[in-house]
Every structure is written in C-alpha cells, then in structure tokens.
Chain A
Amino acid sequence: QVQLVESGGGVVQPGRSLRLSCAASGFTFSPYGMHWVRQAPGKGLEWVALISYDGSKKYYGDSVKGRFTISRDNSNKTLHLRMNSLRVEDTAVYYCAKDPGRGVAGSRYYFDYWGQGTLVTVSS
C-alpha cells in the first residue's frame, strides 16, 4: 500500500534552515507529481509547493516563495523540502502528499495520499 513517511522536523530558531524529507513506498514514485502541504497548530491547510514527476517544474505558495526549495530523488523515491530563513509563522505540521496525475499529462493538483506529517517549530 502507498506509504509516505516524513522526517526532519524539529525546533529551530528564526532565520535558520531545515530540510524535510519524505520517503515513498508502495507505489511507483517517478511518474507522479508531489506536494508539500502544511497546517499551523489549530489551523487549516495551506498548500506549500509542488514538483512535477521529473523535477522540471516547481511551484510555490506566495508565503514561502524565495525561501523554500522543493526537490526529489526518483532513484531513491524521496521528496525533499529545503526551508531557509525560517519565520515563527512557518511553525506547522508539514505533510507530503501525492498527486494522482501521471507523467506528461500533468499534475491534477489535489492529493490522493498523505504522509503522517512532521512538526516544524520555529521559536527563539
């Protein structure tokens, strides 16, 4: 069955960096776009970033553009999120999520599988 397992969360000071990872299993990783979605404590869902199946296209939400970088390693079935210049308002559970769209047909921009999430706390 599809499994997405995030790691790399923790407590970090404002202005510092953190790298999240998401290990995929139970499906063929390379044909699918992948997303990061976050949820601040007690709040709703916010889309963060999308990477296309081959890594050629990357898109970001306005609140993280220029600070976060999404990447993927298809050979190791892993998704990453590099987060620089972290702010207190970046505190959230970060989920990786699979897009149901395959290959060149493009991403569908909704999420059919989610990981369990990893908590990032930005605090001095």
Chain B
Amino acid sequence: DIQMTQSPSSLSASVGDRVTITCRASQGIADSLAWYQQKEGTAPKLLLYGASRLESGVPSRFSGSGSGTDYTLTISSLQPEDFATYYCQQYYSTPRITFGQGTRLEIK
C-alpha cells in the first residue's frame, strides 16, 4: 500500500496566519490526492481533490499544490472556523485508498 505521511502532526497558529501542511506519498501518486477537514465530533469534509481543485463551496483561502510524491495544503489567512484536523488521502492506487495520519491545527 502507498503510505501517506503528513507533517507536522500538530500545529499551533493564530487567526490571520498563513499555514501550510505537507503530505508525502511513499511513491508517486500523479495528483490523485484529496484533502479533508474534520472538526471535533463531526464527519470529515472534502476541501480539495486532484491535488489542487477546490470543492464547490469551500473558501478560496484553501489551496493545494504539489506533484509526484509531495503535496501541500495552504490556508492563506486562518479563520476561527479553520481550527480542525486535516487529512490527506491518495486515490492513485485504487482500490487500496490510504489516508495520512492527520494534522491537528490548534489555536495559539
């Protein structure tokens, strides 16, 4: 299976900060990457797919980039509602879908 490693595992930031979360795949995944946001006690929510395609209704402060094995999620200006856990997920090696371990974004 393709291993997905997110960094950092946790992150403290302030409202208005620019934040970047990294996801590294154990082999190339050709942009077959999705990002999800999960708030405590709720289901995950799709933010981006195809590494950089914003899901409908998701604010434009969220963006994704990368290629090959290395991908990033960037939040350009943190809002109070953005404090959550973020997961990447590869769908290159189907049906053996795998997730990163998550990055917890906390208020500084």
Contacts and interface: CB of A to CB of B under 8 A. Distances in A.
Contacts of A45: 36, 44, 87, 89, 99, 102
Contact of A109 (B36, B44, B95): B95
Interface residues on B, range: 20 to 34
Prevailing SS type, chain B contact patch: loop
Contact of A44 (B46, B55, B101): B101
A113 B87 CA distance: 15
Interface of B: 32, 34, 36, 42-46, 49, 55, 87, 89, 91, 94-102
Most chain B beta carbons < 10 A, residue from A112, A115, A116: A112
Given A110-B34, A112-B55, A44 B42 contact: no
B100 A44 contact: yes
B44 A59 contact: no
A111 B55 CA distance: 11
Interface in A99-114: 100, 107-114
A44 B87 contact: yes
Smallest CB-CB A-B distances: 10 pairs: A109-B91, A59-B95, A114-B43, A110-B34, A47-B97, A45-B99, A109-B94, A44-B102, A44-B101, A110-B91
A115 B99 contact: no
Contacts of A108: 49, 91
Given A108-B49, A111-B36, 15 more contacts: A44-B87, A46-B99, A47-B98, A47-B99, A50-B95, A61-B96, A95-B43, A95-B44, A100-B49, A110-B49, A110-B91, A111-B34, A111-B44, A112-B49, A113-B46
A33 to B, nearest CB: 10
Nearest to A100: B49
B65 to A, nearest CB: 17
Contacts of B49: 100, 108, 110, 112
A44 B46 CA distance: 15
A116 B46 contact: no
9 contacts: A45-B44, A47-B98, A59-B95, A107-B94, A108-B49, A109-B32, A110-B89, A110-B97, A111-B36
